[in-house]
Amino acid sequence: MVPFADRLSRLIAERGPVCAGVDPRPGALPPGLDAVAWAEAAARLLGPRVAAVKPQLAFFDDDWAQVERVARAAGAGGALVVADCKRGDIDSTAEAYARRILGPESPFDAATVNPYLGRDALAPFVRWAARTGKGLFVLVRTSNPGADDLQSLRVVGDDGRPTETVAERVARLVADLGAAHRAPGGGSLVGAVVGLTAPTEVVARLRALMPDAPLLMPGWGAQGGGVEAYRAALDARGGGVLVSASRSLTLPWEGAAPPDWEARVVDALGRMRAALG
């Protein structure tokens, strides 16, 4: 069983750091295709071309059966499949989620998880990922405008003085949880979500706190994330980063999809790779 981090590193080296977000939006789909049919077609198109595909469950009404169809289509092309579900609950419920998403029969290779409930809520995901050779991405510093409402607040230390930010504290937790789960290639199965929209110095600081964590970086395209943050996130081996794009990559048009929508997607992928260098 090849560890998740080593599979990810190999795919990034072979295909580049792109993670394709598959978020079907009814007004932008090709005529005659519903959300699931389009998502499967997009996953089949991109599965052999990108390192990872990331379907967002909200766009499938949280219907796992539908999203698993998309996951299998992407996996058939060799891409890793990240379930963008952001789960986080008490340990017994987290156990059920982790088994469902990361168990041996699941077509997903990784999941996004919410750390707000703390270490015990993340532990089941780590256990299942270690058991099945899969991975997870913990929300550390997200790409949305409201990220600073909580994530940039300072934690007060024992001396009563503000020390690190909440995001930095979570980054330390990610590094701690992943320390016992490093792959032979050096990466860990416990990764982190760090938005491309964060200031470059923030990204660099978080990478320093999580040297072995694979980073999933949303915010490319519509959210305005840039190449500088991507470069600041690279690990000591020059990799370890997935740059996620949804609308700008898989729906790169205005209004309904044109007849040549697949060629448009492939072209958008080429432009994104070129921009990332």
Note the pLDDT tens digit of each residue in 79-101.
Answer: 999 999 999 999 899 999 999 99
Distance CA 116, CA 45 (A): 36
Map out the domains of the chain with their CATH numbers. 4-276 (3.20.20.70)
Distance CA 92, CA 44 (A): 35
Q: Judge contact between 213 and 4, C-beta under 8 A.
A: no
- pLDDT category at 255 given cuts 50, 70, 90 is confident
Catalytic-labelled residue, pool 44, 72, 86, 247:
86
Residue 225 has pLDDT above 90, yes or no: no
- pLDDT category at 158 given cuts 50, 70, 90 is confident
Q: Measured between alpha carbons, how far is residue 102 from residues 54, 83, 148 in Å? A: 14, 9, 30
Which tokens belong to 30? 């090709």
Distance CA 65, CA 40 (A): 12
pLDDT value of residue 277:
84
Q: What is the mean pLDDT of residues 183-187?
A: 93
Going by the DSSP 8-state scheme, the letter that residue 225 receives in this structure is: B
pLDDT value of residue 221:
75
Residue 223 has pLDDT above 80, yes or no: no
Helix, strand, coil content of the chain in percent (nearest 5)? 45, 20, 35
| 86 in active site | yes
> Which uninterrupted H or E stretch holds 165?
strand 162-165
pLDDT value of residue 224:
76
Straight-line distance from the first to the last Cα atom of the chain, in angstroms, rounded to the nearest whole number = 31
pLDDT value of residue 250:
95
